[in-house]
Amino acid sequence: MPKKQERDLTDVLLSSQKKYKPSKKIIKEANVKDYEKTLKQAAKDPVKFWEEAASELSWFKPWEKVFDDSKKPFFKWFTGGKCNLAYNALDRHIETKTKKRTAILWEDEIGRTRKYTYQQLYWEVNKLVNALRGIGVKKGDRVAIYMPNIPEIATAMLACAKIGAMHSVVYAGFSSKALADRINDARAKVLFTADGSFRRGKIVDLKSITDDAIKETKSIKKVIVVKNNNAKIKFNKRLDVWYHDFIKGQPVEAKCAKMDAEDPAFVLYTSGTTSKPKGVVHVHGGYPVGVLRTIKWVFDLRGDEVFWCTADPGWITGHSYIIYGPLLAGITTLMYEGVPDIPKPDRIWKVVEKYKVNVLYTAPTLIRAMMRYGAEWPAKHKMASLRILGSVGEPINPEAWKWYYRYVGKNRCPIMDTWWQTETGMNMITPLPAASLKAGSACKPFPGIIADVVDKKGKQVPVGKGGYLVIRNQWPSMIRTIFNNPKRYIKTYWGQIKGVYFAGDVAFKDKDGYFWIQGRTDDVLKIAGHRIGTAEVESAFVSHKAVVEAAVIGVPDEVKGEVIKTFVILKEGFKPTDDLKIELKKHVRKTLGPVAVIKDIAFLDKLPKTRSGKIMRRVLKAKELGQELGDTSAMVN
Name the site residues for ligand PRX (rule: CB under 6 A).
270, 315-317, 392-395, 417-422, 442, 503-505, 517, 520, 531
Q: Output the smallest distance, CB 526 to ligand PRX, in A.
A: 6
Rounded to 5 degrees, φ, ψ at 343 are: -80, -20
Q: Which is nearer to ligand PRX, 260 or 536 (CB)?
A: 536
Q: Output the smallest distance, CB 528 to ligand PRX, in A.
A: 11
Q: Output the smallest distance, CB 316 to ligand PRX, in A.
A: 5
The half-sphere exposure of 368 on its side-chain side, counting CA atoms within 13 A, is 18
Q: Which residues pair with 603 in a beta bridge?
A: 568
Among residues 20, 105, 544, 181, the alpha carbon closest in space to that of 355 is found at 105
Crossing angle of the two packed helices 46-54 and 286-298, in degrees rounded to 10: 90
SS (H, E, C) 485-521: CHHHHHHHHHCCCCCCEEEEEEEEECCCCCEEEEEEC
Q: Output the smallest distance, CB 244 to ligand PRX, in A.
A: 33
Residue number of the CB closest to ligand PRX reads: 422
Among residues 55, 62, 89, 93, the alpha carbon closest in space to that of 260 is found at 62
Amino acid at 273: T
55 burial (CB, 10 Å; 0-12 / 13-18 / 19+) is exposed
Q: Output the smallest distance, CB 627 to ligand PRX, in A.
A: 20
Q: Which is nearer to ligand PRX, 241 or 497 (CB)?
A: 497
Query: What is the SS3 assignment for 343?
Result: coil
Q: Which residues pair with 144 in a beta bridge?
A: 168, 191
Q: Which is nearer to ligand PRX, 196 or 314 (CB)?
A: 314
Task: Show Cβ contacts of residue 452 under 8 Å, excluding neighbours closer than 6 positions.
Answer: 460, 469, 470, 471, 472, 500
Q: Which residues pair with 502 in a beta bridge?
A: 470
Q: Output the smallest distance, CB 443 to ligand PRX, in A.
A: 10
Query: Furthest-apart CA pair in the chain: how many Å?
Result: 72
DSSP 8-state class, residue 175: -
Q: Output the smallest distance, CB 555 to ligand PRX, in A.
A: 17
For the chain, the first-to-last Cα distance in angstroms comes to: 24
Q: Which is nearer to ligand PRX, 320 or 333 (CB)?
A: 320
Residue 527, Cα to own-chain centre: how many angstroms?
13
CA pair distance 193, 207, nearest whole angstrom? 7
Rounded to 5 degrees, φ, ψ at 353 are: -70, -45
SS (H, E, C) 196-247: CEEECCEEECHHHHHHHHHHCCCCCCEEEEECCCCCCCCCCCCCEEEHHHHH
Q: Output the smallest distance, CB 429 to ligand PRX, in A.
A: 8
Q: Output the smallest distance, CB 139 to ligand PRX, in A.
A: 27
Q: Which is nearer to ligand PRX, 22 or 395 (CB)?
A: 395
Q: Which is nearer to ligand PRX, 77 or 493 (CB)?
A: 493
Q: Output the smallest distance, CB 521 to ligand PRX, in A.
A: 9
Q: Which is nearer to ligand PRX, 270 or 481 (CB)?
A: 270
Q: Output the smallest distance, CB 493 to ligand PRX, in A.
A: 12
Q: Which is nearer to ligand PRX, 247 or 280 (CB)?
A: 280
Q: Output the smallest distance, CB 422 to ligand PRX, in A.
A: 3
Q: Which is nearer to ligand PRX, 164 or 318 (CB)?
A: 318
The Cα-based distances of 591 to 196, 312, 400, 525 in angstroms read 19, 21, 33, 17
* 594 preceded by a cis bond (ω within 30 of 0): no
Contact 393, 529 (CB under 8 A): yes
Q: Which is nearer to ligand PRX, 260 or 505 (CB)?
A: 505
Q: Output the smallest distance, CB 469 to ligand PRX, in A.
A: 8
Q: Which is nearer to ligand PRX, 181 or 505 (CB)?
A: 505
Task: Show Cβ contacts of residue 317 under 8 Å, excluding neighbours closer than 6 positions.
Answer: 309, 311, 361, 392, 393
Task: Show Cβ contacts of residue 111 under 8 Å, excluding neighbours closer than 6 positions.
Answer: none
DSSP 8-state class, residue 34: -
Q: Which is nearer to ligand PRX, 393 or 414 (CB)?
A: 393
Q: Which is nearer to ligand PRX, 195 or 505 (CB)?
A: 505
Host H or E run for residue 597: none
Residue 285: count of CB within 10 angstroms of its CB: 29
Q: Which is nearer to ligand PRX, 221 or 618 (CB)?
A: 618
Q: Output the smallest distance, CB 419 to ligand PRX, in A.
A: 4
